[in-house]
Structure 1
Amino acid sequence: MTLSNELKQTVKKLRLSGILATLPERMAYAKQQHLTYAEFLELVMQDEVDRRLHNQVDNQMKKAGINPFETLERYDFDAPVQVDREMIKGLFGLNFIEEKDNVMLCGPVGVGKTYLANALAHAAVRRGKKVLMVRAEKLFKRLQQSRADYSYEKALLGFITPDMLIIDDFGLKALNEQQSTDFYEIVVERYGRASTVITSNRDTDEWLELFHDPILANSALDRLVHNAYRVVIEGESYRKIKSRKKLI
């Protein structure tokens, strides 16, 4: 069905232009199904609600730094890696966020730690949670830069307030004195208030030696690892496995 220019302009003025793409189809469906005016209006308005929710989730994904294609549904549970698959599936119930517990994803390069962390973030955003995913190096760089323009408190708050903060690739190199203090501040402020997910090529037992100050290290790690879900992934690189499958 053809839409009049007057109707198009009215819809745009009401900031409902998103319905224009499906309105002809909905009009044809309403005529075929003999819908009442109220039923037709409800159908069209629900389309707009669904569209806005979809856009809202997309925007949150981008703001949180999440890859929209790395989801639990796409994860290859048949990949030849050693991991507690039942624990993985259990984590996607997201109860750990409600309980303010943490998750440590440890294992060698390429086994899927970042993928799983991203998938958890994806699930949390769809559940309406505030999420931020950031590489450790970028986190420390952001806080360092914030000191130069006197926005440190605001930058620090940005890492403290999300329901779930994912710090990716933690422990690639030792932390200097300032980075150790920054990490400590984030962990202490989030402890018991929000969930932190960390991916690392090092096991949690090796994290102590990364810190400049052993006292700060013990204090931070005690809070971080206490009651945390520790997921160890071992085996062949998950990225290499996916690449080979694409070539077959």
Structure 2
Amino acid sequence: MSKSVVDIQQAFKQLRLAETAEGLPELLRQAEQVSWTYLEFLEELTTLELRRREEKSIEKRLAWARFPYHKPLHMFQLEEQTAITERQMKQLQEFQWLEQSYNLILLGPPGAGKTLLAVGLGIEAIQGGFQVYFITMGELIQLLKTEEFTHRSQIQLKRLRASDLIIIDDVMYMALDQREATLFFQLVHQLYEQSSLILTSNRSPEEWTELVDNQGMMTAILDRLLHRVEVIHMNNESHRLKHQQKIFNE
């Protein structure tokens, strides 16, 4: 006894092939229109399931990344700055540095495009199959200080520690007390050679030690951060000022 399309869709759902179940009616119509062979039909069926699963996976990882905005890497105007060459950008996009647990430190004044570049690389990393987590330094310190007794902090830090790439924005924009520095050191130690970091800051690493009471602790942090690292100095004109939107016409 032949089954209806609805029955077959239900069977696919029971097999946890939800995307195939949803797309089955349209695929059947296409198969009739162009006279697919059985093999061609099966190929289209499996391709649909895999493609939609990957799309949903990317959507989920983008949501988990918590980017402050969604601006792909092509929005970073490479030709408007001198910090990175086109060849170097291509190297970054190949993500061998991420597979080898290298870090990136993006330095420069506010508006230089540090966060824009970091987010763009993060989005491309997700599309390449990596798990990414974005957080500001202030938010990170707050999560670390409340991890022991706040369920939300525990969940967020669990996702952070499981990520292949962690982007920490505005690193060392303010001083850390002894406890905060200790918590930050413990996190960096946990991530050392397990995950890659992209750090953005308007202060050079040499200045970071001035913002921590315990300079020995900061030295230990820097020792791990700078072991495998590429430092990019983005001292070009403010990207936000250059592309500002005005009320009045010139």
TM-score (norm 2): 0.83
Aligned amino acid, residue 84 of structure 2: D
Give the root-mean-square deviation of aligned CA atoms: 3.0
CA distance in 1, matches of 2:194, 2:83: 28
Aligned amino acid, residue 238 of structure 1: H
Q: Which moved more, 1:40-49 or 1:209-218?
A: 40-49
Tell me which residue corresponds to 1:191: 192
In 2 relative to 1, CA 4–195 (structure 1 residues): closer, same or farther, beyond 3 Å? closer
Query: What does 1:63-142 correspond to in 2, within 5 Å?
Result: 63-66=64-67, 69-78=70-79, 80-85=80-85, 86-142=87-143
In 2 relative to 1, CA 147–54 (structure 1 residues): closer, same or farther, beyond 3 Å? same
In 2 relative to 1, CA 44–58 (structure 1 residues): closer, same or farther, beyond 3 Å? same
Following superposition, the deviation at residue 4 of structure 1 comes to: 5.8
Tell me which residue corresponds to 1:42: 43
Query: 1:114-138, CA deviations, whole angstroms, 9 ceiling, x for partnerless residues?
Result: 1111122222222222321111111
In 2 relative to 1, CA 154–39 (structure 1 residues): closer, same or farther, beyond 3 Å? closer
Following superposition, the deviation at residue 198 of structure 1 comes to: 0.4
Tell me which residue corresponds to 2:201: 200
The question of whether the paired residues in 2 share the 8 Å contact of 1:107 and 1:233 is answered with yes
In 2 relative to 1, CA 241–19 (structure 1 residues): closer, same or farther, beyond 3 Å? farther
Unmatched 5+ stretches in structure 1: none
CA distance in 2, matches of 1:111, 1:182: 29
The question of whether the paired residues in 2 share the 8 Å contact of 1:156 and 1:186 is answered with no
Aligned amino acid, residue 165 of structure 2: M
Q: Give the aligned length.
A: 244
Aligned amino acid, residue 49 of structure 1: L
Unmatched 5+ stretches in structure 2: none
Following superposition, the deviation at residue 232 of structure 1 comes to: 1.0
Tell me which residue corresponds to 1:226: 227
Q: Which moved more, 1:10-19 or 1:173-182?
A: 10-19
CA distance in 2, matches of 1:17, 1:161: 27
Q: SS of the residue aligned with 1:235?
A: coil
CA distance in 1, matches of 2:26, 2:156: 47
CA distance in 1, matches of 2:186, 2:105: 18
CA distance in 2, matches of 1:11, 1:152: 38
The question of whether the paired residues in 1 share the 8 Å contact of 2:145 and 2:183 is answered with no
Tell me which residue corresponds to 2:237: 236
CA distance in 1, matches of 2:182, 2:11: 56
CA distance in 2, matches of 1:157, 1:45: 33
Percentage of pairs with the same residue: 29
The question of whether the paired residues in 1 share the 8 Å contact of 2:115 and 2:200 is answered with yes
The question of whether the paired residues in 2 share the 8 Å contact of 1:106 and 1:232 is answered with yes
In 2 relative to 1, CA 46–68 (structure 1 residues): closer, same or farther, beyond 3 Å? farther
